[in-house]
Amino acid sequence: MARRDVTDNIGSLADWDRPLLLIGCGNMAGSILARWLDSGLSPERVQVVDPAQPALVPGIDVRTALPERIAPGTIVLVGIKPQQFDGISGPLNALLDGGAVVLSIMAGLPVGLLRKALPRAVGIVRLMPNLPVRTGEGVVLTFSEGAENAQVGQLLAPLGLVEALASEDDFDLGTALSGCGPAYVYRVIDALAAAASRLGLGEAQAARLALQTVAGAASAASRSDSAPAAMADAVASPGGMTRLGLDVLDADERLVELLTDTLRAARDRGAELAAASLNA
């Protein structure tokens, strides 16, 4: 199966001509905005509503409350905490007009609830990005109530791999994999370094080697037409060092079982948090 480097999807936003309104500009929304600006988006196209962000890039209109009007054709990215949505949904809906599309990165709020709260939006897309979107190497899970919007696709492309989900029910598991996944990879890097240190390498040297080994392997995998399992077998000579190490990881599917338990725990917690948000 052919694989794809996420950077293949990166495009320029230098010619982007639609207004953008960000409601909330915390870690995730701020990372998305920073990547868009790095990709050529003009700050003059952007308006931000966030009392905690008194100043951003020069040229961006930063406000502490919703504007008096939203320009026709605006794409609105809602990045506030889910429990804050009820407080702004009514005033926001009253301002939506002229082809406004709403993108939501609020965890746990399904498209149906968003549509009920924002009936004036011409389109609603639920997103789940991860933090590597800041460098264009992220994953953005999407679920739309209708057909994919080409301009939304252009806007998301610079962030990395954009993956549409066939069912909104897959959001918790997809989030466990791609949203929580970077933390698990960081833990694997740390574990490789700790193991090497226990066996005799200095801590600092083991940390450097583990980090670059994972970075190089991930980069090679993203650019290869081979599946990762085949790549592992390709470097594992029968009876050699790599093969003996793989035998330990593969015994009784211990690595797969561990990661299955890890993703299950994260997925189930996501479902619990979503239920709590809906019942709040």
Q: Which fold has domain 181-270?
A: ProC C-terminal domain-like fold (1.10.3730)
Query: What CATH number does the domain located at 6-171 have?
Result: 3.40.50.720
How far is it, in rounded angstroms, from Cα 145 to Cα 163? 15
Is the per-residue pLDDT at 2 higher than 50?
no
Mean pLDDT of the chain: 91
Q: Which part of the chain has CATH 3.40.50.720?
A: 6-171
Is the per-residue pLDDT at 5 higher than 60?
no
Is the per-residue pLDDT at 112 higher than 60?
yes
Average of pLDDT values for 208-231? 95
Task: Tell me which DSSP letter residue 130 carries.
Answer: -
Average of pLDDT values for 103-113? 92
How far is it, in rounded angstroms, from Cα 112 to Cα 124? 9
Is the per-residue pLDDT at 132 higher than 50?
yes
Q: What is the pLDDT of residue 1?
A: 37
**Pairing outcome for strands 160-164 and 138-144:** parallel
Q: What is the pLDDT of residue 108?
A: 87
Confidence tier at 3 by pLDDT (50, 70, 90):
very low
Whether the CB-CB separation of 106 and 82 falls below 8 Å is answered with: yes
Average of pLDDT values for 221-250? 94
Mapping DSSP to helix (H, G, I), strand (E, B) and coil, where does residue 179 land? helix
Is the per-residue pLDDT at 8 higher than 70?
no
Residue 146, beta-bridge partner list: none
Q: What is the pLDDT of residue 46?
A: 95
Q: Which part of the chain has CATH 1.10.3730.10?
A: 181-270
Confidence tier at 280 by pLDDT (50, 70, 90):
low
**Pairing outcome for strands 61-63 and 123-129:** unpaired
Average of pLDDT values for 45-50? 94
pLDDT in tens, 137-187: 999 999 998 766 788 999 999 999 999 999 999 999 999 999 999 999 999
